[in-house]
Chain A
Amino acid sequence: MEQVVQQIIGGLATGAIYACIALSIVMIYQAIDHLNFAQGEMAMFSTYIAWQLMQWGTPYWGAFFITIAISFVLGYAIERTVFKPVHNAPVLSHIVIFIALFAIINSMAGFIWEFTIKPFPTPFGTKPVLGEGLLSAHGAGMIGVTGIMLGLLYLFFRYTRVGLAMRAASANPDSARLVGIRVGFMNALGWGMAAAIGAVAGMMIAPVVFLEPNMMVTILLYGFAGAVVGGLTSPGGAVFGGFAVGVIENLASFVPHFGAEMKLSIALALIILVLTLKPSGLFGRRIVSRV
């Protein structure tokens, strides 16, 4: 029993990573209705920016917030320069661009910072907080940061006019234009915010997996799983899904001859399972309307 609790807590800590990424995936999905395959690479690139700032002597939290700001601007710029022109193009064009972005950002990071593994500091320390080997301070910090981000997002979307305008622009772009909302600008804001959330995720993840250009590849997959499980239309659901994937994956390692090697397959199996049984995800909304 104790072991189960241990695995669950450990799962929550890794789940926090997936939750962060799932959150940024949902943000972009809300803005443009597509999954962004380059999301993980954007987060990785942001993390390198933070690393570079720290190399130049910026203290951790300074680098943290500057990186968030830079990532926001970069995300905004990507939407305006790359996606605005193809805004009416079919889904396939978008996917091709996502893949191109993935490759470009990945190689750019390798080109600028090389492919060698770099350690990345944690602001929370690594001491265990819940007894030996259970939950490290960094794990607890990660869970906390994810919670704070989710809370801020909730407040933003629920109580600010810009948040309301963003929701309207993604739910019904034509009607949004008819009340005077500049939908393109809202999409770009969504990209900026997603990039900023991704940057936080990257900086939280890097101390665990080390910094290198391919650090996000598998994590992105788990993030997708989390987002799909929770529902692509629900930021809160995505966070829950992220945690759930982390816990399920950890618990599965109990199954003899199966666990550790099959971790990644479990994430993929979860995606398929949810898409088959409840396509809108656990918390995703199906649109009900009367005519």
Chain B
Amino acid sequence: MSTPLLSAKNLRAFYGPTQILYDLNFDMHAGGITTLLGANGAGKTTTLRALSAMVKTSGEIRFDGKLISNKETADIVRLGVAHVPEGRGTFVRQTVEENLQLGGITQPAGQISADVERVFAYFPRLKERFRQQAGTLSGGEQQMLAIGRALMLRPKVMLLDEPSFGLAPLIVQEMFEILRTLNQKEKVSMFLVEQNASLALELADHAYLLETGRVVMSGPAKQLSADENIRRAYLGY
């Protein structure tokens, strides 16, 4: 097998003296969608935060073969890792336009307007809201903006933290359709943290199950969704 796009080896993460992640190991291959499942407090968000150096970690994280666990957040982002954080992390005081420009702030100025158009093609709603302050958008629109902003980076991988959170079921369906298209058309790999396990397993090709900071199960998404225990605990049927 080729070298993984993103991999963690003995990854541990801490908030102050409290250890959250215990020796996580995972690999994710270019072009794929990997999902991380688990109950509240299992360490899903922390795993994403560890990948983009927003918590204290030990162990090894490699991206594209390069060691990134010793780098700062901004420098990891510049390699093409777009983290769409929990709660979306929109710049609420800035307009939709400025949010998108910020997404591409590390990119050459010349490509910005074309990239904005590309985002509009996926999220036409954002075009209608172009000059509006991001804080006044609805939850669904803000999530679109967050993903659009991440696209502006021309990322190799997107780290998505609960994109379905707080959204109406219909919007969630739409959102996941767009994610699938992005993965196929734009060749963006995705690392997806999701509470809605059935949706996540449907979208992903590979899954890891996290319990209290440890990987307890991993495998192809199909295999996990067929597993009796997972079905009972996370899919609810």
Contacts and interface: CB of A to CB of B under 8 A. Distances in A.
A181 B77 CA distance: 9
A175 B83 CA distance: 9
Interface residues of A, number: 23
A182 B75 CA distance: 8
Nearest to B104: A179
B93 A183 contact: no
Interface string A69-111: 0000000000000000000000000000000000000000000
A117 interface: no
Contacts of B142: 290
Interface in B166-202: 166
Contact of B83 (A172, A178, A288, A290): A178
Interface string B63-97: 00000000011100110001101000111111000
A285 to B, nearest CB: 7
Contacts of B166: 291
Given A164-B102, A172-B91, A180 B78 contact: yes
Interface in A163-183: 164-165, 167-168, 171-172, 174-183
B91 A287 contact: no
A171 B153 CA distance: 20
B136 A180 contact: no
A55 interface: no
A161 B105 CA distance: 7
Contact of A177 (B54, B92, B93, B109): B54
Contacts of B90: 175
B139 A290 contact: yes
A3 interface: no
Contact of B94 (A168, A181, A291): A168
A116 interface: no
B30 interface: no
Nearest to A178: B83
Contact of B93 (A178, A287, A290): A287
Contacts of B83: 178
Contacts of A181: 74, 102, 105-106
Contact of B77 (A164, A171, A178, A288): A178
Contacts of B153: 179-180
B76 to A, nearest CB: 9
Given A172-B89, A285-B93, A178 B52 contact: yes
Contacts of B52: 178
B109 A161 contact: yes
A165 B102 contact: yes
B105 A179 contact: yes
Interface in B104-134: 105-106, 109, 133
Identify which of B74, B102, B106 gathers the most chain A CB atoms within 10 Å of its CB.
B102
Interface string B126-150: 0000000101111100100000010
A291 B139 CA distance: 6
Classify chain B: how many residues form its interface, as a range: 20 to 34
B54 A174 contact: yes
Contact of A287 (B78, B135, B138): B135
A276 interface: no
Contacts of A179: 77, 102-103, 105-106, 149, 153
B94 A167 contact: yes
Interface string A131-173: 0000000000000000000000000000001001101100110
B98 interface: yes
Given A285-B93, A290-B137, A178 B73 contact: yes
B35 interface: no
B101 interface: yes
A178 B106 contact: no
B105 A165 contact: yes
Given A181-B105, A291-B166, A171 B91 contact: yes
A290 B135 contact: yes
Nearest to A175: B89
Identify which of B74, B92, B94, B101 gathers the most chain A CB atoms within 10 Å of its CB.
B74
A167 B133 CA distance: 14
A289 B139 CA distance: 10
Contacts of A168: 91, 94, 98, 102, 105
Given A165-B102, A174-B85, A182-B72, 19 more contacts: A161-B105, A161-B109, A165-B105, A168-B91, A172-B91, A174-B89, A175-B90, A177-B74, A178-B77, A178-B85, A180-B74, A180-B105, A181-B106, A285-B93, A288-B92, A288-B136, A289-B135, A289-B136, A290-B137
Interface of A: 161, 164-165, 167-168, 171-172, 174-183, 285, 287-291
3 pairs of A and B residues whose beta carbons are closest in the complex: A289-B135, A180-B106, A180-B77
